[in-house]
């Protein structure tokens, strides 16, 4: 594992950070050993023991023979909805080991907002374009949100490692469903159902 590096890449709001934090478990969360490279860092050669977490396809050009590439995917409709709801929540992520995050999540009040359909479609199209630009290779791991969201502690098992990541070091789900947040849900749902499905696009879950 000394020469290994990691690249976790997706269009955002796919659970990619939870995958990254699962990888940390392989190194006992020792940041004296591993180096986190985040989405806002400039593209550069990937070094041994880098854990690169980005949303820019250009990083794939920096992969070397020791880099394990993980493509983090999610239904693009759900990712787009998550991006649109994010400003209303205020936090990109909540961590169970941070008391202030746990308290904020518990006290967070869900307030419906009007989602502009053009904003939603622009966000959705940006995500779809990300996937269209991907040139997959046989040695890439593809992990979809739906495969692990019910039990994030098993992410490493899906990568072939017999390590269960402690849930307290991962991330917590945002509160509410999409329809709980979006005032004009019926309008947005109608748009979602009109989108042409492909291998990465499925219809979102309806509210009960």
Distances (CA, A) of 86 to 61, 91, 163: 30, 7, 31
pLDDT of residue 201: 46
pLDDT of residue 139: 95
Domain ranges of the chain: 5-194
| Per-residue pLDDT tens over the stretch 32-47 | 999 999 999 999 999 9
| Per-residue pLDDT tens over the stretch 85-103 | 999 999 999 999 999 999 9
pLDDT of residue 198: 55
Chain CA centroid to CA 208, Å: 25
pLDDT of residue 208: 40
Q: Measured between alpha carbons, how far is 147 from 167 in angstroms, rounded to an integer?
A: 16
- CA-nearest of 71, 201, 74, 199 to 142 is 71
Q: Pairing state of beta strands 50-54 and 35-37? A: parallel
Q: Measured between alpha carbons, how far is 170 from 19 in angstroms, rounded to an integer?
A: 8
Q: Measured between alpha carbons, how far is 133 from 127 in angstroms, rounded to an integer?
A: 10
**pTM for the whole thing?**
0.93
- CA-nearest of 134, 114, 110, 109 to 57 is 134
Which pairs count as long-range contacts for 39-43, CB under 8 Å and 24+ apart, including other chains? 39/12
What does the DSSP 8-state code read for residue 200?
T
Q: Measured between alpha carbons, how far is 205 from 74 in angstroms, rounded to an integer?
A: 13
pLDDT of residue 202: 46
Q: Which residues of the chain have pLDDT under 50?
A: 199, 201-203, 208
């Amino acid at each position: 594992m000394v020469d290994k590096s990691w690249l976790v890449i997706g269009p955002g709001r796919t659970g990619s950070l939870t995958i990254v934090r699962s990888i940390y478990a392989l190194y006992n969360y020792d940041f004296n050993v591993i180096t986190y490279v985040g989405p806002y860092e400039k593209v550069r050669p990937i070094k041994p023991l880098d854990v690169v977490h980005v949303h820019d396809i250009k990083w794939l050009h920096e992969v070397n023979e020791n880099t394990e590439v993980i493509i983090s995917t999610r239904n693009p409709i759900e990712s787009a909805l998550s991006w649109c709801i994010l400003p209303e929540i205020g936090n990109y992520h909540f961590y169970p080991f941070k008391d202030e995050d746990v308290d904020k999540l518990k006290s967070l009040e869900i307030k419906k907002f009007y989602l502009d359909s053009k904003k939603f479609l622009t966000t959705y199209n940006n995500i779809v374009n990300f996937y269209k630009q991907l040139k997959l290779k046989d040695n890439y791991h593809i992990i979809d949100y739906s495969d692990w969201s019910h039990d994030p502690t098993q992410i490493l098992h899906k990568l072939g490692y017999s390590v269960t990541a402690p849930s307290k070091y991962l991330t917590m789900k945002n509160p509410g469903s999409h329809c709980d947040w979006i005032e004009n849900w019926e309008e947005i749902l109608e748009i979602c159902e009109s989108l042409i499905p492909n291998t990465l696009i499925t219809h979102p879950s309806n509210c009960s």
